[in-house]
Amino acid sequence: AQSVAQPEDQVNVAEGNPLTVKCTYSVSGNPYLFWYVQYPNRGLQFLLKYITGDNLVKGSYGFEAEFNKSQTSFHLKKPSALVSDSALYFCAVRELLGGFKTIFGAGTRLFVKA
């Protein structure tokens, strides 16, 4: 069965500094990997996905994520954080041949301080 782990409940970073939000996954086959963001009082929004190809995936709002098959990781990154990036971030995985169910991690709260 597929699973996702986000080892940090919270990440704090100063505005302008690079940020990383960590994610590791477990699937028995090839994964589809996703990042979603949830702003206060708003629904989940799709940020980016990895299906196949280049290990560095670019998404919305300047975010990118790096797929590392050997470490089974899919960390979310941004070169320069903004205060407006403060939100709850969810990593998610779907197994390529495992049906259409996507499993979400518990989430990491990102605080960007001015």
Partner 1 sequence: DTGVSQNPRHKITKRGQNVTFRCDPISEHNRLYWYRQTLGQGPEFLTYFQNEAQLEKSRLLSDRFSAERPKGSFSTLEIQRTEQGDSAMYLCASSLAGGADYGYTFGSGTRLTVV
What one-character-per-residue DSSP string does 9-69 give?
Answer: SEEEEETTS-EEE--EEE-SSPEEEEEEEE-TTS-EEEEEEE-SS-SEEE-GGG-EEEEET
Q: How far is the CB of 38 from partner 1 (least distance, A)?
A: 9
Q: How far is the CB of 51 from partner 1 (least distance, A)?
A: 6
Among 3, 7, 12, 46, binds partner 1 (CB under 8 A): 46
Q: How far is the CB of 39 from partner 1 (least distance, A)?
A: 11
Cα–Cα distance list, 71 to 20, 25, 45, 46, 61 (Å): 16, 9, 26, 24, 26
Of 100 and 114, nearer to partner 1 (C-beta) is 100
Among 29, 43, 54, 97, binds partner 1 (CB under 8 A): 43
Structural contact between residues 104 and 112, judged by C-beta atoms closer than 8 angstroms: no
Among 20, 72, 73, 102, binds partner 1 (CB under 8 A): 102
Residue from 42, 65, 45, 43 nearest 54 by CA: 65
Q: How far is the CB of 104 from partner 1 (least distance, A)?
A: 4
Task: Give the residues lining the site for partner 1 (CB under 8 A).
Answer: 4, 32, 34, 36, 42-46, 49, 51, 90, 92, 94, 99-107
